[in-house]
Amino acid sequence: MSPKTLYDKIWDAHVAHEAEDGTCLLYIDRHLVHEVTSPQAFEGLRLAGRKVHAPDKTIAVPDHNVPTTPGRDNPDQMPEDSRIQVAALDTNAREFGVHYYPVNDVRQGIVHIVGPEQGWTLPGMTVVCGDSHTATHGAFGALAHGIGTSEVEHVLATQTLIQKKSKNMKVEITGKLSPGVTAKDIVLTIIGETGTGGGTGYVIEYCGEAIRDLSMEGRMTICNMAIEGGARAGLIAPDETTYAYVNGRPHAPKGAQWEAALAWWKTLYSDDDAHFDKVLTIRGEDIAPTVTWGTSPEDALPITATVPAPEDFTGGKVEAAKRALDYMGLTPGMKLTDIEIDTVFIGSCTNGRIEDLRAAAEVLKGKKVKDGMRAMVVPGSGLVRAQAEEEGLAEIFTEAGFEWRLAGCSMCLAMNPDQLSEGERCASTSNRNFEGRQGFKGRTHLVSPAMAAAAAVTGKLTDIRELQ
């Protein structure tokens, strides 16, 4: 048998039908649903008189619109359009009989945090959601990617997707990371190398010692941003770290089924001679704490660098860089560490897990945010929030001057009231620094949780390694 990549193996195990031209029906094991990209899909089912094919494999949770302030069970807290959208999910979830975590359930949170937390996401699965950051679940060795609303309806109705296979790409991070360098810095560095289109047409498998050494939380941060490099999905082969995380979660297999599952999961790795169409290797030792300066995640540089000039680029990127510098209000040549910020956002499906909050709290212990700084922590789920309170992290945040919020997507995409105002500049642990992403004319610098905490204290983008 010819050697296979991890992607090949998961793909092959899920092809329900293959046409002569290679178009496949790929079977979907888990379908995650949120309120923004699903109402039109459920309405489509209703109009056609169709049911949800596999309600047991469908999990719904509101996250994008929901307020993160206390008292939010009262729907009057939401603007009317948000309220209608959340109410539509409520109705659709109950009417079509899918698993559901409503806003007042402690298990509610960002869909990509809830899935793994509840053990819905398991190695070797296919996982989709009407959200590009579905790539997160690839951290478990699950083939996971975002889909549009028409495809949400297709999966609801048939439990399959019409797909053609992507190409295989390998990104290897060798060796050890230096102190102060995290999963976020790895993935920003990768996107800085490949560009936001570098992964288009590929599924990326992340491997190498530095990836193996990461916790599940760190691996989720890496795979979460696979989409920012253009890849359909990111994957990390499951190992003991994965099994330990999964074991005992509410929807993980138990007893004999656990043993059977484990036996299959242990076959999920790329064979030695498997073919990759593209390979990128980065030395872990070469990665520094990394920040973005522009309006694309590919605008990533080590914190020790200076703001680039348009002439540093070629092709269409010259104009894009000019536009980005103007939007961001930055001058070429200035040190990144001289960039003053007024807002800090810690949260999102990229960095809203317990380990992220621990890393930020570690920096903030005994310190205060700079005067006038608006700083907020939005845990990724109600359970992350509860755990952080139990560990005393919430107290560290509030004593430092952070707002301690309820779970949701919040300022990552600013669909709820958590937004930047015009000209405000934010150090954010989220995933996109696009124009207007966190609010009209708001300015975003993507950073790790520790770097966000450091920036909150100093009022500038800060090299975490230099903070005393």
Partner 1 sequence: MKKFETFTGIAAPMPLVNIDTDMIIPKQFLKTIKRSGLGVHAFDEMRFDRDGNENPDFILNKPAYRETSILVAGDNFGCGSSREHAPWALEDFGIKVVVSTSFADIFFNNCFKNGMLPIVLPQEQVDLLMADSEKGENARMTVDLEAQEITTSDGEVIKFDVDPFRKHCLLNGLDDIGLTLEKGDAIQAFEANAAQARPWV
Q: Taking CB under 8 A as the criterion, which residues in 95-114 touch partner 1?
A: none
By CB under 8 A, tell whether 23 contacts partner 1: yes
Q: Quick one: which of 225, 145, 216, 237 has its CA closest to 191?
A: 225
Among 67, 109, 115, 124, binds partner 1 (CB under 8 A): 124
User: Which one of 5, 11, 33, 39 is in contact with partner 1 (CB under 8 A)?
Assistant: 39
Tell me how far apart the alpha carbons of residues 140 and 122 are, in angstroms, rounded to a whole number.
6
Nearer to partner 1, 268 or 388 (CB): 268
Strand arrangement of the beta sheet that strand 167-174 belongs to: 233-235, 202-207, 167-174, 278-283
Is the CB of residue 1 less than 8 Å from the CB of residue 260? no
**Nearest-approach distance from CB 156 to partner 1, in angstroms:** 9
Cβ(234)–Cβ(198) under 8 Å? no
CB of 254 to partner 1, least distance (A): 9
Q: Which is nearer to partner 1, 95 or 399 (CB)?
A: 95
Smallest distance, Å, CB 358 to partner 1?
29
| 136 and 118 Cβ atoms separated by less than 8 Å | no
Q: Which of residues 371-410 bind partner 1 (CB under 8 A)?
A: none
Q: Which is nearer to partner 1, 238 or 289 (CB)?
A: 238
Residue 223 assigned as binding residue: no
Query: Shortest distance, CB of residue 311 to partner 1, whole angstroms?
Result: 16
Candidate list 10, 52, 98, 122; residue touching partner 1; CB under 8 A? 122
The tokens describing 140, both together, are: 């478990």
Q: What x/- string results for residues 246 through 275 when contact with partner 1 is judged by CB under 8 A?
A: -------x---xx-xx--x-----------
Longest Cα separation, the chain? 65
In angstroms, give the least distance from the CB of 338 to partner 1.
Answer: 26
Q: Considering only residues 316 through 345, tell me which ones interact with partner 1, judged by CB under 8 A.
A: 316-317, 319-320, 323
Rule CB under 8 A: choose which of 394, 413, 420, 447 binds partner 1. Answer: 413
Q: How many residues bind partner 1 (CB under 8 A)?
A: 78
Ligand-binding site membership of 409 (annotated): yes
Piece of 108-116, 160-168, 178-186, 460-468 that binds partner 1 (CB under 8 A):
160-168
User: Pairing state of beta strands 425-428 and 278-283?
Assistant: unpaired
User: Which two structure tokens, joined as six digits, stand for 300?
Assistant: 């990533």
Interface residue with partner 1 among 193, 435, 459, 465 (CB under 8 A) is: 435
Site for partner 1 in 286-315 (CB under 8 A): 296, 298, 315
178-237: contacts with partner 1 (CB under 8 A): 195-197, 200-201, 228, 230, 232
Q: Choose between 243 and 258: whose C-beta lies nearer to partner 1.
A: 258
Q: Annotated binding site for [4Fe-4S] cluster: which residue ranges?
A: 349, 409, 412
